[in-house]
Amino acid sequence: MTHSITTQSELLSAIDAGWTSLTDALSHLSEAQLTVPTDAEGWTGKDHLVHLAAWERSMFYLLAGKPRYAGLGVDEALYLSGDFDAINAAIQSQQRDISLADALAELRRVHTELRTVLDGLTDADLQRTYSHYLPDEPGDDDGSPIIDRLVGNTSEHYAEHLPWMLELASDS
């Protein structure tokens, strides 16, 4: 997927704006609103936070030259299957018993780590492809610049999941 974001400054602005929207919205929700109501798949708001942290961590791992499956905390074979529903279900299952406080702390920690790495990247770094960062990971390089995946796993991901969390919270 190609995005209109093509520079480091645009990326950081989008991430910061998305992060602010996410954290501002979360600050108005109670622990019960984030841990009790579930959707049709059995996810709580907390599960969405764990999910966001896992995928953001996978991008941190990618930029560090580490396999994304390790960042996601899933088996390599599962990750290479490309079955995102199964990957997401595994992440949710593994983290089901984590406290909300720990889920929020991990999301903040991962976000800070990734944001710090992104501060050090150049526009040229962000135009490199997936295989530049993970040359041994088969099948994941579609030729698009890595900035597209970063947008999709940060600012766009927050915007995708926030409405679901707010809807769950309104059900409580």
Q: What domains does the chain contain, in order, with CATH numbers? A: 8-170 (1.20.120.450)
Question: How many other C-beta atoms lie within 10 A of the C-beta of residue 126?
Answer: 21
pLDDT of amino acid 61: 97
pTM: 0.95
CA distance 108 to 96: 18
pLDDT of amino acid 73: 96
Which parts of the chain register pLDDT below 50?
Answer: none
pLDDT of amino acid 172: 64
Helix residue ranges per DSSP H, the chain: 8-26, 31-35, 45-63, 68-72, 76-81, 84-94, 100-119, 123-127, 130-133, 146-152, 155-170
pLDDT of amino acid 136: 86
